[in-house]
């Protein structure tokens, strides 16, 4: 199918290769790496999950990122315009649907970043000998707690306001500049925490369980599909974030380099987070299988048991906040680009409009976990997998093959990619993502297999 002829709009681009990499890695690295990855490792048995996660990040994550970057750069649009411009049937409607998904997901994601911010403040309060129960911000499992609800609204509002201040300055003056500062600081914090965790008595048992005790019998289909699904979640694949950031790539840049470095940065931060958490959990005789509460329920106890632990606690939650914050900035940018690309609206007005919309959508999941967990499952995992599938199919089947190959190759097509890689994008990756989607339906909707 041949894409319709459309005039590419004027587009702001990144100023440098370092800025490009820090920005794209920043939007990929988020709560999924430092919050979700360790508890997924714990739930799915350690080393087998970790090893397969690395394999699919390289074999599927890199080419899938290349495809989304290529789609964005080819059309110079975000999801609201990219699918239509690339020739996908009902592309405009698909774009608006994914736009709505990102809006709904950004609301609850901003609320979680608010939790992290409050826990970072709680660690500072411990150092200042001020009594502050950071866990008071967490929503109840059922019912309604006014204190938790109000704390979440205040912290969510502050997070979204901080995002708006950066996004309103644009790609170069705001997002790229912030990413150059936050990303190196976050990696430094993770390294410091990893070193401290590894020096605890008994920490090596956690290391052995985490990366050394691999058995092929542990590599079950459920573990493999869970690792693949988390990779899609963690890399921010979904036909939205990376399409927008691909639209900001310079025409002379190849899409393989940022894709490779994004996977290195994203996977590396996940592995560092695991090494910062699992050895400490084992050293203190705690269980790694606690699920989503692993960080918020377990780590404050870990830090309390360490001399000067509030310092390490603040570094951890501060670094986690920085990672989540950059992803949230990326989400707001997706929405703002969608409006400015397709409507006669200024960037400033679009920023405040979408910030307000995300705040409104943060309210329902802030009530309790009975609302939050299905919200996260539906808009964070299931719909993101669907968006990634649509993006890869669009590049592999809707854009004219010569145009797709040119975007995927280096130096404007002068150094073509191997044809096997193009066919892997066209056939292999959709099949893998469909496997995840079918598994999600069976486990989460029909409950016929064990879910995450």
pLDDT tens readout for residues 198-208: 888 899 999 99
Any idea which of 124-128, 176-180, 243-247, 297-301 has the lowest mean pLDDT? 176-180
Structure tokens at 291: 């699920």
DSSP β-bridge partners for residue 415: 410
Any idea which of 9-23, 57-71, 130-144, 317-331 has the lowest mean pLDDT? 9-23
Structure tokens at 34: 């430092």
Could you tell me what percentage of the chain is helix, strand and coil, using 3-state DSSP and rounding each to the nearest 5? Answer: 75, 0, 20
Would you call 206 helix, strand, or coil by DSSP?
helix
Asked if 387 and 68 touch (Cβ cutoff 8 Å), the reply is no
Q: How far apart are CA 369 and CA 377, in angstroms?
A: 12
Q: How far apart are CA 23 and CA 322, in angstroms?
A: 13
| Whole-prediction pTM | 0.84
Structure tokens at 193: 């925490």
Which of 21-30, 61-70, 230-239, 260-269: highest mean pLDDT?
61-70
Q: Which pLDDT score, from 0 to 100, does residue 450 have?
A: 58
Q: Which pLDDT score, from 0 to 100, does residue 350 have?
A: 95
Q: Give ∠ CA 261-267-269 in degrees, rounded to 5.
A: 100
Nearest to 11 by CA among 172, 176, 168, 164: 172
What percent of the chain has pLDDT above 70?
87
Nearest to 336 by CA among 361, 356, 354: 354
Give the single-character DSSP code of 288: S
Residue carrying structure tokens 């092929």: 216
Would you call 56 helix, strand, or coil by DSSP?
helix
Left (φ > 0), alpha (ψ -120 to 50) or beta: where does 307 sit? beta
Residue ranges of domains in the chain: 18-444
Determine how many CB atoms are found less than 10 A away from the CB of residue 191. 14
CA distances from 237 to 52, 98, 102, 396, 452 (A): 18, 12, 12, 16, 19
| Exposed/middle/buried for residue 143 (C-beta within 10 Å: 0-12, 13-18, 19+) | exposed
Residue 263 has pLDDT above 70, yes or no: yes
Nearest to 113 by CA among 359, 385, 308: 359
Report CA dihedral (315, 319, 321, 322) to the nearest 10 degrees: 140
Q: Which pLDDT score, from 0 to 100, does residue 397 have?
A: 96
CATH for 18-444, among 1.10.357, 3.90.550, 1.10.4160, 1.10.3470? 1.10.4160
What's the mean pLDDT in 284-304?
77
Give the single-character DSSP code of 176: I
Asked if 279 and 306 touch (Cβ cutoff 8 Å), the reply is no
What percent of the chain has pLDDT above 90?
41
Q: How far apart are CA 68 and CA 393, in angstroms?
A: 10
Residue 394 has pLDDT above 70, yes or no: yes
Determine how many CB atoms are found less than 10 A away from the CB of residue 202. 12
Residue 302 has pLDDT above 70, yes or no: yes
Residue 1 has pLDDT above 50, yes or no: no
Asked if 252 and 411 touch (Cβ cutoff 8 Å), the reply is yes
Would you call 410 helix, strand, or coil by DSSP?
strand
* pLDDT one-digit tens code per residue, 400-427: 999 999 999 876 656 788 999 999 999 9
Q: How long a stretch of residues is the chain?
A: 452
Residue carrying structure tokens 């005789």: 285
Asked if 382 and 444 touch (Cβ cutoff 8 Å), the reply is yes
Q: Which pLDDT score, from 0 to 100, does residue 119 have?
A: 95
Q: How far apart are CA 241 and CA 102, in angstroms?
A: 9
Structure tokens at 101: 């998904």
Outline where 253-308 has alpha helix (H).
256-283, 299-304
Mean pLDDT, the chain, integer: 85
Q: Which pLDDT score, from 0 to 100, does residue 364 have?
A: 96
């Amino acid at each position: 199918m041949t894409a319709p002829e459309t005039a590419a709009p004027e587009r702001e681009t990144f100023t440098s290769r370092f800025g490009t990499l820090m920005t794209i890695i920043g939007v990929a690295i988020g709560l999924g790496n430092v919050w979700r990855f360790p508890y997924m490792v714990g739930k799915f048995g350690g080393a087998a999950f970790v090893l397969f996660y690395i394999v699919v990040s390289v074999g599927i994550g890199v080419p899938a990122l290349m495809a989304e970057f290529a789609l964005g750069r080819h059309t110079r649009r975000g999801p609201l315009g990219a699918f239509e411009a690339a020739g996908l049937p009902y592309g405009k409607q698909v774009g608006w649907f994914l736009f709505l998904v990102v809006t709904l997901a950004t609301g609850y994601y901003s609320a979680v970043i608010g939790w992290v911010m409050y826990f970072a403040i709680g660690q500072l309060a411990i150092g200042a000998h001020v009594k502050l129960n950071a866990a008071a911000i967490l929503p109840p499992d059922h019912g309604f707690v006014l204190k938790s609800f109000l704390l979440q609204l205040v912290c969510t509002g502050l997070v979204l306001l901080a995002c708006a201040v950066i996004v309103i300055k644009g790609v170069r003056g705001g997002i790229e500049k912030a990413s150059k500062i936050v990303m190196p600081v976050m990696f430094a914090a993770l390294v410091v925490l990893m070193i401290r965790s590894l020096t605890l008595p008994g920490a090596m048992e956690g290391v052995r369980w985490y990366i050394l005790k691999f058995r092929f019998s542990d590599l079950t289909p459920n573990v493999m599909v869970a690792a693949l699904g988390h990779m899609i979640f963690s890399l921010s694949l979904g036909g939205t974030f990376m399409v927008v950031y691909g639209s900001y790539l310079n025409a002379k840049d190849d899409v393989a380099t940022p894709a490779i470095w994004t996977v290195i940065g994203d996977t590396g931060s996940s592995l560092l987070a695991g090494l910062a958490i699992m050895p400490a959990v084992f050293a203190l005789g705690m269980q790694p299988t606690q699920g989503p509460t692993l960080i918020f329920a377990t780590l404050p106890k870990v830090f309390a048991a360490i001399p000067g632990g509030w310092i390490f606690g603040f570094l951890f939650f501060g670094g986690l906040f920085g990672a989540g914050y950059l992803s949230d900035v990326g989400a707001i940018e997706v929405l703002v680009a969608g409006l400015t690309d397709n409507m006669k609206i200024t960037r400033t007005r679009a920023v405040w409009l979408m910030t307000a919309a995300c705040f409104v959508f943060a309210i329902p999941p802030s009530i309790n976990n009975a609302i939050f967990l299905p919200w996260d499952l539906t808009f964070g995992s299931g719909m993101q997998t669907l968006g990634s599938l649509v993006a890869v199919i669009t590049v592999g089947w809707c854009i004219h093959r010569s145009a797709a190959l040119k975007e995927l190759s280096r130096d404007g097509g002068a150094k073509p990619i191997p044809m096997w890689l193009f066919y892997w994008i066209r056939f292999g990756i959709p099949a893998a993502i469909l496997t995840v989607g079918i598994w999600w339906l069976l486990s989460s909707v029909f409950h016929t297999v064990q879910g995450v």
